Structure formats: C-alpha cells, structure tokens
Structure 1
Amino acid sequence: MQTEEEGFLASLTEDARYRMLIDAITDYAIYMLDRQGRVSSWNPGAARFKGYDAGEIIGEHFSRFYTEEERAAGVPALALELAEKEGRFEREGWRLRKDGSRFWAHVVIDPIRSPTGELVGFAKITRDLTERRQSEEALRRTQEQFRLLVQGVNDYAIYMLDREGKVASWNAGAQRIKGYTPDEIIGHHFSRFYTEREREIGTPTRGLATALREGHWEAEGLRVRKDGSTFWAHVVIDAIRDDAGEVIGFAKVTRDITERKEAERQLQEAQAALVRSQKMDALGQLTGGVAHDFNNLLQVIAGNLQLLSRDIAGNPRAETRVQNALAGVARGAKLAQQLLAFGRRQPLEPKVVSIGRFIKGMDDMLRRTLGSEIEVETVISGGLWNTMVDPGQIENALLNLAINARDAMNGHGKLTIEAGNALLDDVYARQHDDVKPGQYVLLAVTDTGHGMPAEILDKVFDPFFSTKPEGKGTGLGLSMVYGLVKQSGGHIKIYSEVGQGTTVKIYLPRVMEAEDVVTAEADGPVRGGDETVLVVEDDEDVREAAVALLTELGYRVFKARDAASAMGVVESGLPIDLLFTDVVMPGPLRSPELARRAKERLPQLAVLFTSGYTENAIVHGGRLDPGVELLGKPYSREQLARKVRHVLGNAAQQRVAEQQRAEKGTPRWPHPPSPAGQTILVVEDDDLIRSSTADMLTQAGHVVVEAADAPSALKALDACRADILLTDVGLPNVSGVALAREARARMPALQIILATGDDAAAPDAKELGGVLLLKPYSADDLLQAVVGLVGAPAPAR
C-alpha cells in the first residue's frame, strides 16, 4: 500500500521533483545564469553561503561574486566564454559574500542549450571549500615550516635515504658537517661517510638492517668528511613506513660530537691528574712525616759509626763492619731522599746550568758506571739554552736513567744522551695538562734495550713499581726523576716499544740568565777550624753525635735542645761564629725565626740549617729560600766538615765584599754606553718590574714615564712626547701589542720595545719595526735594546 509521502511524490511532475531536489541542497549553490551572466534562479544553498536572498540577487550579474582583481582582469566573462566553447568551465578561487567576506570556492559552469543547440544560459554550481582550503594551507605551511626547519638546522645533518641507502635529501647542516653540496651527494650511497675499516666490517649495512628490523638504530663512531678528515659522530637511523606499513626509506640524523668527546677526554685526564695529585700529596705527607724521624735515626747511627771508626783504626775486621754499616745508612738515606723527591718535598738548590756542559762533565763517570760493554754517545746541539735546576739532583737523575738503561740492555748495547732546544706549543700543552707552552731545554736518554709494553708505561713513574726482577731495585729511580722534573717546573715523557728500546725525554724551562759557576766539591782531606759553633737539636742522640763530630774537627761547640734555649746562649754575649740548627723542632719559636733573631744580635753570624725533612720552613715552591744553606740528614763527617767551612767562608767573603762596596761605592750594575735624553714610556703591570726597569733607564740618563696598563699609557702619550714605548705584552684587558699599534697610529715616529717571557710576539715586533726584549732581562739587555732603536730609521708609516 502506498504511503502518503510516496503518493505525494508520485503526483509531482518531473520539473517539480527536480525543483524540490535543488531546493533541498544547502551545501552547494546551484543556480542558473542567462546568456549574459545574470542570475535567473537561486537555491537555498546559494542563499546560505553567499548571503543573498533570491529577491536580492535574481537579475544581477554573477560577476559580483568575484573579487575586484578578477573582475578587472575579465575573469567572469572568460569563464562564460570557456564554458560555451568547451562545454564546461571548472576552477577554484576566492569568491565574495554579500557582506564582503571571502570564501574559497569550487566552481563549475555548464552551458544550457535548447533542443536545437542554441545557448540559452548556464548552470552554475559553487561549493564552499574554505575549510578544506584552510586545512590544506595549514598542512602546506606545516610542511614548509618543517622543510625550512630541517634546512635551517646547521648543527645536525638531517637527510633521507632510500631503501638501498642512497641519499635522497640533504639539509644545510649535512653540508656544513660533511662538506658535500646536495648535487654532489644525492643519489650516492651513505656508506661513503664511514671509515674504510667500518665499511670492511659492514657497519653501514648493519645499521640499515637494524633500523629495518627494529625501526631504529643508534651509534657513535668516527665518520669521514668530503676532504678526508674525520670527526666523531652520534648517528640515528629510523625506518620510514607508508600507510600500509611498508618501509619506503630511512631518516638519518648525524651530530658532530667531536667537541663533546674532547671535553670528555679532558675531563677524564683532569680527573686522572687529580687522582695522581692526591696520591702524590698523600705520599708527600707520609714521606715527610717519616723522613724527619727516619733521617734523625740514621744520623745517630752514622755519627756514632764515624766516631767509632777512629777508635777501631788498625782493626781491619772491625773497620770492614763499620764501613758496611755506613753503607747501609747511605742506602737508607737514599731511599728517604727518593721518596721525598717523588713527593716533590726535597729541598732544591737550583742554579743556572748549561746542560750540554753538564753532560760532558759526567762523561767519564757514566762510562765507568755503565761498563765497557755499553757504547755511550752524547749529542749536544749548538746554541743550547740554559736552564735552572739543582746540579746535584739532575746528576742523580741522569745517573738513574743511565743505570736503568744499562739494566734494560742486560749490560750490552748503546746509550744515547742528547741535549737540545725545544718549543712546546699550545697544541702540545692542551694535550698534557701539566705543561705550560714555552721554550725548554731537552735532555733525552735513549737505549737499545728490550723496551716496555704500553700497559707498563702508565705505571713506570709510580713509587715502588719496577720492571726489574725482585731484589734488583727499589722501584724509586724513575719516581725520583719524575718528582725532580715536576718540582723544577719541567715535563717528562717516556716512549717505548717492546723490542725497540726506550727514550726518556726531560723538558726543563729555559732561563735567560748566564750560567752559574758551579764549584766541584773538594776531594782532598777535610779540615776543621777553631771557630765557635752553636748546635741546636731537639733529639739528644743526634745533638750529641753532632757535637762530638764538630769537637773532633777542632771547633769550640755550645749546644741547645730547642730554639728558646739557643736564644739564651746567643743573648749571653758568648762569641758565636756559626748557628747550626735543626729545622723542625718543638716549641713556639721556629728555627727560621731563631736565625733571624740571632743575626739581629750578632750581625756577623753565619747560619747553617740541617734536617731530614724541611716542611715549608725554609723551602717554598720546592726550593730553598734565597741565601739559605742546608745540610741534609743523614750527613757524614766529611760532608759536615766541608759544609761548615763553606758557610763560614761565604760569610767572611760577604763581609769583605760589603766593606769594599762601602769604600769604593761600586755601581749597582754595569751597562753599555747609551745615548741619553730619550723619553721612554714604560708600561708594566708588575710594580716591582716596572720600578726596577725605570731605575735602570734613569741611571742611563733617560727620562722615564711609568704606566700600569694600556688606558694609563694612552693618557700618558697624550700628555707627553715619548720617543720609545717599552710595553709588556701581557697587560691586563688590552694586550701590549694592541697598545703598541694604537700608540703607533697616534704617533707614527714612536719606537717600540715589546717585553715578554717568550718569543711568540716576535712577528708583532718585526711588523712594528721594533725590538723584542725577552724576560728576564738584565740592565745590559735593556739598554742594548734602547741602543738598537736610537738612531734607527723612523718606522714606516
């Protein structure tokens, strides 16, 4: 049975049903145009999104839906023309609503013809696609932003690979890090970024296979740039899949982590250096604590044995036993000294030494020590610089290295000792945390022995570590050498390979002073004297042994158990020529203070310290304080006798020199003739250096203006007409080189002297037409630099 709705639809004509259909559609604007483009029908959909009622728009031209720009360009007329000619017109574009707002429209215009084919108008369907357009635009912007993001990343190489691993895209970061332009690399396999070793073991293939299987692969390793250089990279490869889950390629992100790896390496080295430093400090404290009592004990034994040796003279058997006991004392003393050396706690008496001359002086002793089966060759470079080191300690160090080399060669082979100049630059210093860049004197000892494996090299400087068989060494020889070099401000490096021998290189800082005259210790019989000596020692046994030895040598001896008691003797008015005092003693009055007070009462008094361990009382920075004389415990009768005569002789010589100066008024320093009357601006931030330099120049007849930094110097230049600028290179904030250039720009005729601790500024001095004055400089060096400038041609402008 037919429903009421079905009956109603059946009663409608076809045109009526069509009209109902059109009117029911609200998502499309469906309307007709006449041949001229005027609206002739209007459905509810058109009214909804264009805003016009049928009464407002029917009879109006459809061009009002177009933007002003399109109307001016004739787009509406062209649309009708194309629809008529081609049977259809379809486009997307901006259209206008009644309120003037825009919407994105999809437009179809079809021609309507009569049964005879005559054009009677047009059917026009418009759909509002604004939301779709906005979505597409948002997607496009997102894609563009992502593309710009990827292309704009410089710190990461972000690119795609196809399924075979060939490069399919390439961002700016990839170009910067790896060096290839997109044209050079797209289409090539990504394995070219790997080292040859990584390609051989299949790392690129394994990376893609893992990403294909697990979706992700991550690793770190060395990669190769276009120029062949390598860098440390962090790499991530992710599989890219389509909607069906099929892998269509890979996304690859590479980051250059070379700096991070270097920072990690430096941190590890710093931590290792800290551990070494802590270990050394702990050892230094341990050895320092033990050394004082241990050496006091050895001194008691040694002193009494030497006194006993005179009582048993003529008894060969007893004499032999005493000598054996004294040899044991010497070995114990050497053990304590080696421990103190490694802990950098031994007192040094550094002097300016020519290592070349020093090695030549040891030649005979080395050959006798090593034996005839060891060939010894010495190679000394010409123009060798001087260094500052304790001659006795460096002799022990060289002897230790030579004996180690002999043992490594089993008594047969060649030992080469070389000395030359060396420059350790900033690059080397960055690789070795204990090195300051600069000029050094190199001492190298090379043997042809069996060598050492790499795992041993890191341990050779550790105390008590030895490669020798048990009982063949204490393991302190290299430790002592290491401690001496470090305490002297130097650097030591060991190179060795199994079967290729070993080379130990010692770098000692260069000094500019002239070589000190080192007098060899006399070998003749010792002698005493008749002077008066005050012995101050808290250990009764040590004190009595020292008193007995000095008395036997002919001296008149007073004794005191501590510093306070000693001051009582001094203030008693007794004539005393020498104060012989232990450094470390109990009580409120320390030994250095005792010496100072005693010399105030007795200005002619000579002072000799003795100790098995000095702490920091008379040793600072690992070196004896200037003018301090020290006799280390345990000491022999001969060492005591010679040291006492040396100290007393020096005191007498100083008195003679002071008397001659007072009588003759000798100048403070000699200097070469120098044209006087130059105005010299001295720029130096160290007050003492600036003051002494000004004194030197003033005594030579020059006018000196002083400044502590670059701004002060420039103000001084504005206020005075200087002839010469003498500036330290390492000024605070503004370097001396920058100051010199600015000063020269202001005063083209100004002469320049650059003062510095190294010759790194030599090119700057040459560029400025000036002179490089290396620190430390003497009055001769300074005035010679001035002489070299005065009368020289004016600098080029």
Structure 2
Amino acid sequence: MNYPNYFKSYSAFLLENYIEELTQNVIVITKNGKFPVCRFLIQLPEETIYEKIRREFEDILQDIIQGTPHNSLTKKIDLWKAGKSPISRKDLTISDINSVNHIIKTVILDFLKFYECSKIELIALVKEITDYFQTSTEMGIYAFEEIQNEVQIDRDEIIHGILTNVPVIITRINQEGEITYSAGKGLESLGRKENDLKNFSIYHDFIFPENIENSKLALSGKSVSYIGRSRSLSGEIREFQNYFIPVNNGIIGFSIDVTERIEAEERFRSFIDAVKDYAIFKLSPEGYINSWNEGAEALKGYKKSEIIGKHFSIFYDNELKEKHFPEYELEQATLHGRFEAEGFRLKKDGSRFWANGIITALFDKNNNLVGFTKITRNLTERKLAEERLRRSEERFRSLIEGVKDYAIFLLEPNGTIASWNEGAKRIKGYNEDEIIGKHFSVFYTEEKKKQKYPEYELVQAGIHGKFEDEGLRVRKDGSTFYANVLITALHDTSGKLIGFSKITRDLTERKFLEESLQSMNTDLENKVKERTDELLKTIKELKRINNDLDNFIYTASHDLKAPISNIEGLISNLFEELGEQSLLNVDLRDIKEMIDISVEKFQITIKDLTEIAKIQKESLETVELVGLSELIDDVKITISDQISRNNAEIIYHLEDCNEIKFVRKNLKSIIYNLISNGIKYRSPERNPIVKIMCSSDEYYNTIICQDNGLGIKAENIDKIFNMFKRFHDHVEGSGVGLYIVKRIIENAGGRIDVESVEGEGSIFKVILPKGEFELH
C-alpha cells in the first residue's frame, strides 16, 4: 500500500512531540488486562511495560516515516508464528488482534486535535490511518488463521473462544420462528446474558419490521445479510449487522453490533455534506457521480438531483475531453492510489475556475476497485494572486537587474552564486557567465578566506535572519574596495533555508571622506584642547584678579573708615580752635566747605565699598516668598521725596508672578536701584514714568523695569554694570548701584539684560531661576 506524505508527516509529528503521551494513554488501557496481551504485560515491572509499549509506537511510526509500513509488524508476526514470541500462540484470539489495533488506532487518532492541517488533509489522513490499521488487523488475523490450522484445537474451545471473546450474538431459530438458543459476548450491548432471548418469537417479540421480514426470508431457505435494529433492556436502540443462514429445521443467526461504526459513518457523512469550502463527492469505477455535498453544489452550481448519475467529465472543457484527460486521471489514481492535478474546470453556467483536484481510488478487502473519491478546491483567487506575484517578481527582477549602484545577487545555501545584476558587474568586474556557479568567497581577501569568514557570514545570517558587515572586498582585477554588505537568509513556506540574498555597496569614497573627517576632527579636538587650556588659564588668572579686587574692596571699606573719621574730627577740632571769627574769612570758609564735601563723598564711597564687600562675603541667607507689590510700595515710601520732587509716576502689573522666592533685602535692593535710576536719569522734556512688570514660566521669573528717561548710548550699554562707571555728571551718584544689582542677580544664578534707545528710555530685564537660591 502506498502511504502519501500526510501519514508520514503526522507520524514524524507524533514521534517528535507526543511519544510519551501515546505510551501513557495505552498503559492506562492496558492495566485493565481484558485480553491476553494486556495480561502478559501487567505481569511485568512498570518500567518494562512503558519501554515495550513505547518501542511498539516507535516501530510503527518509524515504519511509516521510512516508507516501509508493517515492516516491524511482519517481523513480530514471524516470531509469533515460530513460537518465539512472549505471547503464546494459543493465548491470542481474533478479538485480541482487533482490540490491540483498535486501541492503538484510537490513541493515534486522538492526537489529531493537536495537529494543524487543512480539512482535506485531515480527511485523507484519517483514511490513511484507518487503512493502515485495517491492514494490520488483516495481517494479524491471517497469521492467526495460519496458526490455527497448525495447532489442534477442539471444537468446544473454538466455540467457547468465539462466544466469550468475539462481540457477536449467535442465535438458533426453529421453523416456528422461536429462538431456541442465544449466546455470545455481543449480548452485553443489549444488557442480556446467555439464553436471555430463548423462547422469544420473531412474530411477537421482534418489534422492528426489518428483523421480522428477513427472518421469514431466511426460514424460507435463503441466506440473508442486512443491518437491523434491536432495543436493549435499558431502552437504547442498537444497530446490528445480521447474517441469517438456513439450516435443518430452522436458521442460525450471527449478529455483530455496528452501532458505533454506523454513528461514526453518519457523523463523517454529515461532516462531508456540511463542508462548503470543498467539493467532495464519490465516483463509480467508471467515473459516474454517486454522491454530492454542499461544497460541490456551491462550487460547481449543480444541485444533487441534477448531477447524480452524470459522468464527472462534465466539469472539463472540450480540449481536455478530446485528450481523454478525465479517463487518464482515473487510470493514474487506480495505478498509484491517488492523483492530484490543477487546471481550469467548468461550472454549470459555463464559467471557468482554477481548481485543485485530488482523486483517491477506493478498494475493497480483496483489492477490487469499488470507486473513487474526488475533492476539489477553488483556487482561482490563489491563481490570480500567483499570477500577480509572478508579474511582480518579473518587474522586481527587471528592476534589480537594472540597478547599477548596488551589487544585488542570490546565493545557494552553500554560498555559490545563483544570480547577477548590472550593479554587481560594475562594482566587482565580473560578467554574469564568469561568476554564476562560483563561491562568493571569491570576493574576499586571502586573510578572510583563511579565517573562514565568508562561511561565518552565512552561518550568522542563517541564525539571525540577516548579517551586515563592512570591510575590504576584492574585484576581478585584484583591486580592493571598501564595501557594506547585507546578507539575508531566504526560507520557503515550511521554514526550510533555500538560499541567501546579498546586497553590496561600494563605500570606498565614503570611507575616504570619513577618514578625512576623522583626521580633521582630531586636529580640531587638539586645537579645542589647546584653546580650552588657554581659556582655563585665563579664567584662573581672572579669578585671582577678582579675588584680589574683592580683597582690596573689603580692605578699603574697612581700613579707610578710621582715617576718614579722624580727618573729619581733626578738621572740626581745627575750626573750633580757630574760633567762629575764622569762618568770617571767606577763603577759610570756602576751604572748610570743600573739605566737608570731599569727606562726605569719601564716606559715601566707603559705604558703597562696604555694601559690595558684604555681597561678596555673604554666605547663605534666608530665602522667603516675597510679595512684589508690597516690596515696590515699600521702595516708593523710601524714595517718596525723590518721586514727589520729580513728579514721577510708578506703575506696576504683577498678575503673572506677584510672589517670588528670594532674599527679601536683596530683591528690595534690585527694585530700589532700578526705580531710583529711572527717576534720576529722567528726560528734561517729560515727567518720569517707571513701569514694572513680571512674567513667569516653568523655570524662571522675569522682572521687567521700563523707564522713559535719557536712555543709554549703544557703545555704553556693555559698561553700565562696571564699578564706579557713570555717564552723566549732572546726576549725583557713586556708579556702584548697577554693579551691586548685577552681582546680587548673578550670585542667585540669574542674569540681567538691557535694551535702550538714547533719548527714549531703557528696559531692564531681571531673569531669576525658580526654587531655592544660594549666594555664591
């Protein structure tokens, strides 16, 4: 018998994934010990039972996979017939043979639920498995019969064996239609025992007409075979295959319970009839249709009543009919067991569709052809998709062959070159006829070849799906170029590796540019390092100068206080000694006034230096939430005389950030200096107006102070924050106010910006980071 790949694939699947589960399932059944094989096994240790059953499954599955069905079974039968099997030749019965094959078949079929396949494959697979175990049973029975011919067994033993082991009911019916004897294991399915049916009358106790009619026919002297119904004691209806044979004074009946078989056949028939994606129907040996399912009607358009009895060549066009292709299909199916073909077939309305058809020959137990099954699928969409794919592949191939900037070609699984494009020819220098069939390692340097690097690339692409690399490759003329290489593994639909695609780009020019750029970067980094070192050195020197300046300011602010106080005291004492008459002297009085003014200015300068020193030396001061409007009002009170004297107007809009976290006295100093300067440096042409606004974002608060005063010349904007720097002599001041403001702001991590137009006014922007502030 020829076994297609369905059973082979399924056997490999079971052997790889479920051999332990198959073994365990049979062990559970075996432990019941209902037939001699089981009784023999359960006497053995569990490990031995497991090993023997597992080996039995492995032998069966390996036979199927290797295409040698029943090879191991034949060997076991030979040992049994020779009396070398652990199972006695006398112990085993036909019932045992049937049971063993039924159990193994059932267990194997049960694992179909874990196997993924199409409906058509499933149908074929179930048939192949059933055929296999049917053949196994027939081989066992044949061997059994041979043994029985050799071994002398008396008639009573045979009858007893049949009655106690074979699921059959044997009855004897006399000419009056009464059952005079009933026995057999088959009575169990009716819930009865031996002779429970004795004295039953076929005329009074047989309730199903088919049994009465066929019993009468047998009593008339004719042998009868039919399927009839019987009711068990529990009321269940069972189906039996009945054989009635006329004998002297009556008939002998043999009845076999076929309920499960008929139900299974009915389920299978219902399944076939309900399948709508496949046309499934039966043919006579001559090719005439004798069954039809819903899928066939949906696919081909014929109703069952229209097509039954017609020849299946009705589905073929005239060209195929003239070539006798339908008859050829049946011949091939008969010869090989099955035949598969694809092509255009006809529907009832004359339209064509692309079909896949499988014809399987059906044989009886005597190997006589009894007909065929035919399964047809509509593959029109797939055919159209394949055609679109073919055209797409042709376009893609034309595109690939025309690409000149990339070498694109295919490799066989072993690395030999299978295709070549214009880009490959241009980059590597080989013509197609020179390179096809050669190993792609021809493009690698001798060093890489010795390292087996080309083979390594293929292994990595096979493992990871692709492999990318850059390095030197060799042209036909022996010159080298710098290449980027991408190798991609190609697999078929089953996952089998069928080759590789390889894309190569010539990156020689890019590599040269990269190396040049790297060299330039290195030079630039060296220059940056030199400049950075110089800058750090300058910063270090500036820090030293700044520290010296801070020390000087601190020293001056402290050490000059005492001398100026002494000068002021000495001048006062001097004029007291000279008396009031001395002030009548105009020259002396002018000298005293000039000395007083100078001392006062000196004291103001010392006070400013002291303030600067305090800012420089301050450590952490308390940061608090300061209300800007409250602070501005406070400053307005402090400089109220100045505001009144200059008729100034102070306006503020603080809706966005009325409260700011800052050191209160420092923030007041900033606001004080900005408002005061806006009034002091007023334009003589208009009353001073100072506007204060505030904005806020996620990270910063910005205070804006805008005035309409004199403005600042563009060349002086960068100088206004320098210490003691003043640009207007008509306004009193020391020139340190904005210097102090800038230092306060920078110590808090912020900055101050200025925008000014001479003659129009200035805008000062104080930008302060949010959060806690540290004085630096």
Is the structural similarity TM-score above 0.5?
Answer: no
Higher helix share: 2
Instruction: Look at both structures and tell me which one has the larger radius of gyration over its CA atoms.
Output: 2
Say which structure, 1 or 2, has more relative contact order (CA 8 Å, 6+ apart).
1
Q: TM class, shorter-chain normalised? A: under 0.3
What TM-score do the two structures reach when normalised by structure 2? 0.27
